[in-house]
């Protein structure tokens, strides 16, 4: 027997020396065999005891230790990506059991289920190298060539190109290559310039959307690394990370459930199924990237990231569509279509008139000879003349169609989105930019939006006594409070060994309570957690306004229930209370009333009131198998009350007053009790001090819910504050306001706010405290959670609408003037004073440079002095009609005088006269751009020094116009002008300033102008 045992023991060293050449599966089999072999050897030793002498001899002959030759593996971690991907994707429980569960996978990934990965730069880099980064390949961005091709698809551009090509061909054939290319070549250059500017503008807009998409996807995620809980970008997550999940979070990668309670996941984004899936350790520990946490909280181990997840592969095929059409763009498309039809009719009339005059011999060339002399005229000459006439007609269409309107909207929205980002507001849906300008009501949350969300416990009551010195608390009561705080929380505490400073993580309320318990009550969270095991958890949500936990004390095997939440709700669940000495007392009606007064007193001081309650579960209840998945909600004992101060944000009162000054009603909807809500609302200026709590301005959510539909519709306008509201109450209010014709903006941060955010005209989610579900349901994300940023969004919304109205006024003035002058001149003189190239130049400076100049005006205080723009209010107001018709009439009058009497007035030839008309027309637009800056205010120069871009564009336009007239004689078909002629052009154009000033004294009717044209 001793020989056998000696052989067994001497073989152990060989068995444990695993050859490095073996594959990973072979190594596992080798170790398994060694384990079985050793256990059999030891078993035989126990079953066959040896004599003392033999035993001593045997043990002396065997070495007292075994030397293991441990050799590092070539790979970083002990498991490959393929295994990890298939493990989660196929929900392979058998494979997970073979790997010894999530803990075994964490060990193989050199991670710790409690402390996470090492987190050093080299460690993270190695993991990214071996398993990839948490990013996905995006579809290739559209190149500038794509937008050039899109611009070429415009029908009018194609017709112009055809005309230019024909003109080029006939011109070269008739006059030779040296002289004949000017007409056709000039049009080609002008058309290509228009195409290039349009393509570059759209390309830049597309790039900006890509950048916004990247910012939008950059979610902050809670992870633990080296024992320290911290927030990192979703793109920085690596395989092996331990991630914290809570209600409303997006699961950032594929992984395994480690620990948590009541975790329900919405997998509809992956499977299309709307039912929530329960995730737990035993039956379904698999979590998928892109899904949303619907309830509960958990920690997960990341096993696959980026393109190794199904979500990553799916997202790599999807790109954000920057061509989303907003309501304003849809309205402008109709306007563009209507103006285009008028332009088409005018162009057709001009075409007919010019062709008739040409073929009847009523047109002359530059030398005074008739262009058409019947059969004597060459075919090439006729074709060239016809092509030139068609090109002129098509150019009129180009100028008449306000292609700059969509560009102006795009530029305005793109510019405002960029500026709003700097003002702490990220636009997710373009339409929200302009809709916000029409908002009549803003329904806002309290916590974090009107307040700083920097909470601190300032009041502490035990029984009916306010406690100032925590050292006087009885030991048993102190233990109960510490249990209720340490175990019934989603927050956590981190303390570096070398430092005495604590770091608290979690929601602001949780952090305030944890900070108070640790610093004031001396709570050791780890020690408390080690003494208890958690049986069941009911996570906090905005409907229940409380959270509960069922725990078992390990040493005594006793079960306890703890509740924490809104004070009056917890109080209603209590039948007894602990007094300051730690004695339990029954709660009668007088005591209950006293506690209610304590709660109201704290609430009136703007404090959020939180209560802690406890109940020990009798032994017979859990011994006889009562359901431990339901936490007792009755016959609780009140432990303590705390008051948490959350100060109002600086500047929030002014922001509320700005909104009210702008004609926008601000309503506060909060989960806090009615006294806290009223105190905060008064402090913020939403409520006046004289509005008593009993009037209709303040209402509780439950009361509002119980109103009949008719009562709700009658009272909803008068309500300023809704307290103790649920997400359903918020949704109900939004629906009522919309039915009454309001344009409603709503702020929200929780998952349950999603229906109200979607129902509202503008959904505003919170960037810091908002859940991913709330953000995805919203139109704009307020990055700093500040109500002042909501007021800024309102200003920008009005600015967008106002800037587009300015450009419409400017554009229509040009359109009307150009159409009338060309038609009248063609009908009477048989010629068009503005050539195709000149009209394309006007189109370029008007559409692109004009749009850029007027679309980038920043919001002013005057915008808030106007009432909100109604849903049905016409885009072109009577004020705009008055301004544009006055300017267009002046321009037409001046240009017609120059057309018919310009030669005699200035003593010049026809070519110089045409140049004077072109120059005056362009300069009129330059001066009218200043008039367009203000629709109603007479001083159009106010604040102009702040808009450097506007002044720069005006300067560039003037320089380019000088170059066109003085240097590009052949290209632009112009003649050089002397100083007197330039002075005359500038003087005539500058007269548009005093005309614009005088016209604004003319009152306008409230009835829309176009209504007068209806029968």
Please say whether the beta carbons of 965 and 977 come within 8 A. yes
CA distances from 935 to 806, 853, 879, 952, 1008 (A): 7, 15, 7, 22, 16
H or E element in which residue 408 lies: helix 404-422
Per-residue three-class SS string for 953-986: HHHHHHHHHHHHHHCCHHHHCCCCCCHHHHHHHH
Tell me, rounded to whole angstroms, the distance of Cα 378 from its chain centroid. 66
H or E element in which residue 211 lies: helix 182-217
Pairing verdict, β 636-645 and 574-578: parallel
Give the span between the Cα atoms of 834 and 821, in whole angstroms.
9
Count the residues in the chain.
Answer: 1015
Q: What six digits make up the tokens of 782?
A: 């307020």
Give the span between the Cα atoms of 1009 and 809, in whole angstroms.
14
Q: What six digits make up the tokens of 122?
A: 């080299």
Please say whether the beta carbons of 790 and 316 come within 8 A. no
Please say whether the beta carbons of 938 and 874 come within 8 A. no
Please say whether the beta carbons of 532 and 552 come within 8 A. yes
Instruction: For Cα atoms 469, 472, 474, give the angle at the middle one, nearest 5 degrees.
Output: 140
Instruction: For Cα atoms 710, 714, 717, give the angle at the middle one, nearest 5 degrees.
Output: 140
Pairing verdict, β 441-444 and 744-748: parallel
Map tokens 């190298």 to a residue.
129
CA dihedral of residues 754, 757, 759, 761 (deg, nearest 10): -160
Closest CA to 320 of 409, 429, 418, 218: 429
φ and ψ of 21, to 5 deg? -75, -15
Give the span between the Cα atoms of 664 and 343, in whole angstroms.
40
Give the span between the Cα atoms of 460 and 456, in whole angstroms.
11
Binning the chain into helix, strand and coil, the percentages to the nearest 5 are 55, 15, 30
Map tokens 């107001």 to a residue.
877
Please say whether the beta carbons of 958 and 924 come within 8 A. no
Instruction: For Cα atoms 483, 485, 488, give the angle at the middle one, nearest 5 degrees.
Output: 85
Q: What six digits make up the tokens of 377?
A: 């005229």
Tell me, rounded to whole angstroms, the distance of Cα 629 from its chain centroid. 39
Find all residues with CB under 8 Å of 667, minimum gap 6, and list them.
441, 442, 443, 444, 686, 719, 720, 721, 722, 733
- Given the residues 249, 266, 295, 445, select the one marked as catalytic: 445
Closest CA to 681 of 667, 695, 671: 667
Upper half-sphere CA count for residue 377 (Cβ side, 13 Å):
20
Give the span between the Cα atoms of 257 and 252, in whole angstroms.
13
445 as an active site residue: the answer is yes
Closest CA to 187 of 977, 970, 975: 970
CA distances from 419 to 426, 788, 792 (A): 10, 15, 11
- For residue 598, the SS3 value is helix
Strand partners, 548: 538, 563
- Alpha-helix residue ranges (DSSP H) falling in 441-502: 475-486
Instruction: Enumerate the active-site residues.
Output: 445
């Amino acid at each position: 027997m001793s020989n056998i045992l000696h052989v067994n023991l001497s073989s152990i060293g060989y068995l444990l020396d695993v050859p490095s050449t073996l594959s990973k599966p072979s190594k596992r089999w080798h170790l398994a065999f060694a384990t079985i072999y050793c256990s059999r050897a030891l078993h035989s030793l126990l079953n066959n005891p040896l004599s003392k002498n033999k035993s001593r001899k045997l043990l002396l002959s065997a070495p007292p230790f075994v030397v293991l030759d441990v050799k590092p593996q070539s790979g970083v971690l002990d498991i490959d990506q393929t295994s990890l991907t298939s493990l989660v994707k196929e929900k392979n429980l058998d494979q997970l059991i073979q790997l010894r569960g999530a803990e075994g996978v964490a060990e193989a990934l050199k991670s710790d289920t409690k402390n996470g990965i090492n987190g050093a730069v080299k460690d993270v880099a190695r993991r990214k190298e071996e398993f990839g980064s948490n990013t996905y390949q995006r579809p290739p961005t559209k190149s500038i060539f794509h937008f050039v091709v899109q611009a070429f698809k415009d029908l009018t551009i194609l017709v112009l190109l055809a005309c230019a090509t024909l003109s080029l061909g006939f011109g070269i054939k008739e006059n030779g290559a040296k002289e004949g290319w000017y007409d056709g070549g000039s049009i080609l250059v002008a058309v290509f310039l228009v195409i290039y500017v349009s393509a570059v503008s759209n390309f830049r807009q597309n790039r900006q959307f890509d950048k916004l998409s990247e910012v939008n996807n950059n979610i902050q995620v809670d992870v633990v690394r080296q024992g320290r809980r911290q927030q990192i970008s979703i793109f920085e997550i690596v395989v092996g990370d331990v991630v914290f999940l809570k209600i409303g979070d997006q699961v950032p990668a594929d992984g395994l459930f480690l620990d948590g309670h009541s975790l329900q996941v919405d997998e509809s984004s992956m499977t299309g199924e709307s039912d929530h899936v329960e995730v737990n350790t035993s039956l379904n520990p698999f979590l998928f990237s892109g899904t949303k946490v619907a309830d509960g909280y958990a920690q997960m181990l990341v096993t696959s990231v980026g393109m190794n997840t199904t979500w990553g592969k799916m997202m790599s095929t999807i790109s954000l569509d920057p061509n989303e059409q907003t309501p304003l763009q849809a309205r402008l498309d109709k306007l563009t279509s209507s103006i285009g039809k008028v332009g088409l009719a005018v162009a057709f009339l001009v075409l007919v008139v010019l062709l008739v005059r040409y073929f009847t011999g009523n047109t002359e060339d530059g030398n005074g000879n008739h262009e058409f002399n019947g059969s004597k005229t060459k075919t090439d000459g006729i074709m060239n003349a016809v092509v030139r006439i068609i090109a002129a007609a098509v150019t009129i269409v180009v100028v008449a169609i306000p292609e700059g309107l969509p560009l102006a909207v795009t530029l305005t929205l793109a510019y405002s989105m960029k500026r709003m980002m700097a003002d702490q507001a990220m636009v997710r849906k373009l339409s929200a930019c302009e809709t916000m300008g029409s908002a009549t009501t803003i329904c806002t949350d309290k916590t974090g939006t009107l307040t700083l969300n920097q909470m601190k416990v300032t009041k502490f009551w035990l029984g009916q006594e306010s406690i100032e010195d925590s050292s006087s608390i009885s030991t048993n009561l102190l233990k109960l409070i510490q249990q209720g705080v340490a175990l019934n929380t989603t927050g956590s505490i981190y303390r570096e060994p070398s430092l005495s400073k604590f770091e608290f993580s979690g929601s602001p309320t949780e952090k305030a309570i944890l900070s108070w318990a640790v610093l004031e009550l001396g709570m050791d969270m780890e020690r408390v957690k080690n003494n208890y095991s958690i049986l069941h958890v009911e996570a906090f949500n905005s409907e229940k306004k409380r959270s509960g936990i069922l725990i078992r004390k390990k040493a005594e095997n006793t079960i306890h229930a703890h509740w924490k939440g809104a004070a009056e709700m917890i109080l209603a669940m209590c039948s007894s209370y602990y007094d300051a000495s730690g004695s339990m007392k029954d709660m009668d009606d007088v005591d209950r009333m006293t506690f209610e007064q304590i709660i109201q007193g704290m609430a009136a001081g703007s404090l959020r009131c939180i209560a802690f309650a406890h109940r020990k579960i009798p032994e017979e209840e859990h011994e006889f198998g009562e359901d431990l998945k339901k936490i007792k909600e009755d016959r609780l004992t009140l432990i303590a009350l705390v008051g948490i101060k959350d100060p109002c944000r600086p500047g929030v009162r002014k922001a509320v007053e700005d909104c009210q000054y702008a004609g926008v009603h601000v309503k506060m909807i909060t989960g806090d009790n009615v006294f806290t809500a009223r105190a905060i609302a008064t402090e913020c200026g939403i409520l006046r001090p004289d509005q008593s709590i009993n009037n209709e301005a303040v209402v509780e959510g439950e009361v509002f819910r119980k109103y009949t539909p008719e009562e709700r519709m009658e009272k909803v306008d008068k309500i300023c504050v809704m307290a103790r509201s649920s997400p359903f109450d918020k949704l109900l209010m939004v629906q009522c306001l919309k039915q009454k014709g309001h344009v409603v903006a709503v702020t929200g941060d929780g998952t349950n706010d999603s229906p109200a955010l979607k129902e509202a005209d503008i959904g505003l989610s919170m960037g810091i405290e908002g859940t991913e579900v709330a953000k995805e349901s919203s139109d704009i994300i307020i990055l700093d959670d500040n109500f002042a940023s909501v007021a800024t969004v309102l200003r920008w919304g009005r600015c967008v609408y106002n800037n587009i109205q300015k450009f419409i006024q400017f554009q229509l003035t040009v359109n009307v003037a150009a159409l009338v002058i060309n038609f009248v001149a063609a009908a009477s003189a048989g010629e068009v004073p503005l050539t195709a190239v000149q009209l394309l130049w006007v189109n370029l400076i008007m559409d692109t440079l004009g749009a850029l100049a007027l679309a980038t005006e920043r919001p002013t205080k005057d915008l808030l002095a106007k009432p909100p723009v109604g849903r049905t209010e016409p885009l072109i107001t009577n004020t705009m009609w008055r301004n544009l018709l006055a300017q267009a009439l002046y321009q037409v009058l001046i240009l017609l005088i120059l057309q018919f009497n310009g030669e005699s007035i200035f003593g010049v030839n026809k070519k110089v006269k045409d140049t004077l008309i072109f120059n005056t027309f362009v300069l009129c637009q330059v001066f009218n751009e200043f008039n367009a800056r203000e629709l109603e205010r007479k001083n159009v120069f106010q604040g102009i020094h702040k808009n450097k871009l506007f002044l720069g564009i005006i300067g560039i336009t003037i320089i380019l116009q000088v170059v066109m007239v003085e240097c590009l004689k052949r290209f632009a078909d112009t003649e050089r002008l002397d100083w007197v002629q330039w002075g005359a052009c500038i003087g005539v154009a500058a007269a548009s300033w005093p005309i614009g000033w005088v016209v604004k004294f003319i009152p306008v009717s409230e009835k829309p102008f176009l209504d007068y044209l209806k029968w």
